[in-house]
Structure 1
């Protein structure tokens, strides 16, 4: 708590991310439960880059849990907490159910039971995690700073991606790249993303990225890796103290579907490539200094994918840029998170111009010049 009794927003978000990770691990720990939770996305909710995309109860439950938790501490932010998922879910009987976090564990279990069609044990286990008191600690978490007293919570909004790389979360199959520490698929690619932005400027200011399966303790037992950053006018802080890579070796990370002509331009500049799943995971590799740049030329990510890592990168002196606008204008054009007039149009949530994530903005000028070549 701060001197005026107000909770520390960053600490609340870190605890929310860990609660999300607990829910994700609970759902993933039992194959029967995992099978019950998977529902294929349809229509406008499907990501066109994948043949199959999935919506899970874990996604919805995590999102609604974070909304409930943050809203209870910061009522002024309640209506500006947005996420990837609709709270509406169709159970195995074809019944439409709205997932809601209740005031008690029993109320939440009752809501979940409608989806889980009689699986009382599973509903109770998930409800227990939703209402469990969480206070995440780790030596790597660092000291949580006191946020400025004049922080205007009325002007803050949140984008949540409850489980980024859902397909990886479901399959769990791990494949390694040629670069130590970077996997192309697997549970390591799964992230929970919570990003805070200013509603009047659209600038991301606080980010939390958690890897629910970041550290393997023993077979099928994991603990979280947690990364955070704050970039406010009067405060810049983070826990991402990683050594820079070899300056003589450039590495970019991409989706496996990236255009060949884009990759060729990186080759011309002396970059090596890694291909990996999960927008949050790829941005995290920029944050941890394991790669120099993450570029996606397609408009297949959304605001919930980028808000959290962008806030952290800004705290580190980097940023996430609009690829198309930056190349066209030959200068860094950061992504913004302003609410569009038509909030019911799903396209306003899309990063339609693609993205470039960098930890060191000094690499952008050369990169943009090369990408603009005909």
Structure 2
């Protein structure tokens, strides 16, 4: 395929994110179907912050669908498309089944029937969404730019978080904070995260974040909110032009488990703060200028949580930094995505993260956070 005929990677990722959102909504719309799809994660996969963690077939199916679609259009990227979930399920009969997207809808249906232990209608409905042609259009999407001809696709990798805030996705219970537009829990916290990074430098360069339940159209009927950004040496673009909430107020957002001494330091700097679920959701609040800072001091996020929002923030002049390294060195240390040969801990942002849209604010913030 010549460069003039090359599909636009950003457009492909946006359509993948919308297909993911369709799958998520299809699963969530039917309580019986949702109950079929939930499988508790194995001990090795579980997030240590939660007593119970879950993977759903929706998670795995979205991940494998994105890998299938991007790999088909950009085969040179196929081996570097990584996600949060293992594709292996154990069905109710105790059989081990690997979720895979087939060459046609009937193949995918057969695979899903094996996972769902014979629930043919559910398997068929999901396979229909997997193989549906999607072309997302929205007045908020903006103009999709042409990518540079010199872009080396063989040097690009992808991190996918198919459904971030899975617990919120399953429960659906919404709680509001004291700040308009920011929810503490609920479907609003659910995001699909697709981040592209350079394999040689580890720098994130393209990000797509979708909220499958971003716009409520009717009872149990939703459409997506879609955010994207590109930060390449020869191209910076995004669709994230938002006005700041209030220049006289500083707002930070945290996990409800954040350390009290860190919260106190933000109070000392004049920040107000909100608590909310979902790493992708909290980073998105920085992107949309509803908060100035998202900080997590614990190592409970992973590369799939941060790659997409970091790429968007870089396009906006912001970034996501390594909390522990930045405080220790009193300088900003951006997260990177260099792959390791062995072990699983390299996937973890082990010493926490700080996401900001205004990098200039980091000097004062780091000095305060580094106080003994």
Are the equivalent residues in 2 in contact too, given 1:2–1:146 (CA < 8 A)? no
Change (3 A) 1:279 1:356: same
Shift, 1:3, TM fit: 6.1
- For 1:21 and 1:2, the matched residues in 2 are separated by 31
Partner in structure 1 of residue 84 of structure 2: 84
The range that moved more, 333-342 or 302-311, is 333-342
Partner in structure 2 of residue 363 of structure 1: 361
Question: SS at the partner of 2:140?
Answer: helix
Shift, 1:184, TM fit: 0.3
Partner in structure 2 of residue 173 of structure 1: 173
| Cα deviation 1:289-309 (Å, max 9, x = unaligned) | 000000000000000000000
Question: SS at the partner of 2:337?
Answer: coil
Q: TM-score, normalised by structure 2?
A: 0.99
- For 2:44 and 2:364, the matched residues in 1 are separated by 37
Partner in structure 2 of residue 161 of structure 1: 161
- For 2:22 and 2:91, the matched residues in 1 are separated by 23
Shift, 1:245, TM fit: 2.6
Partner in structure 2 of residue 308 of structure 1: 308
The answer to whether structure 1 residue 10 and structure 2 residue 10 are counterparts is yes
| Cα deviation 1:238-283 (Å, max 9, x = unaligned) | 0000012322200000000000000000000000010000000000
Partner in structure 1 of residue 264 of structure 2: 264
Count of aligned residue pairs for this structure pair = 372
Question: SS at the partner of 1:62?
Answer: helix
Return the match for 1:352 from 350, 353, 361.
Answer: 350
Matching of residues 213-232 of structure 1 within 5 Å:
213-232=213-232
- For 1:331 and 1:2, the matched residues in 2 are separated by 43
Shift, 1:196, TM fit: 0.0
- For 1:81 and 1:33, the matched residues in 2 are separated by 28
The range that moved more, 2-11 or 187-196, is 2-11
Shift, 1:93, TM fit: 1.8
RMSD: 0.9
What residue ranges of structure 1 are gaps of 5+ in the alignment? none
Partner in structure 1 of residue 322 of structure 2: 322
Are the equivalent residues in 2 in contact too, given 1:2–1:8 (CA < 8 A)? no
Partner in structure 1 of residue 237 of structure 2: 237
Shift, 1:358, TM fit: 0.1
Q: TM-score, normalised by structure 1?
A: 0.98
Partner in structure 1 of residue 212 of structure 2: 212
- For 1:70 and 1:350, the matched residues in 2 are separated by 24
- For 2:241 and 2:328, the matched residues in 1 are separated by 33
The answer to whether structure 1 residue 285 and structure 2 residue 285 are counterparts is yes
Moved over 3 A (4+): none
| Cα deviation 1:61-80 (Å, max 9, x = unaligned) | 00000000000000000000
Change (3 A) 1:2 1:268: farther
Shift, 1:337, TM fit: 0.1
Matching of residues 243-254 of structure 1 within 5 Å:
243-254=243-254
- For 2:2 and 2:234, the matched residues in 1 are separated by 16
Question: SS at the partner of 1:15?
Answer: helix
Partner in structure 2 of residue 40 of structure 1: 40
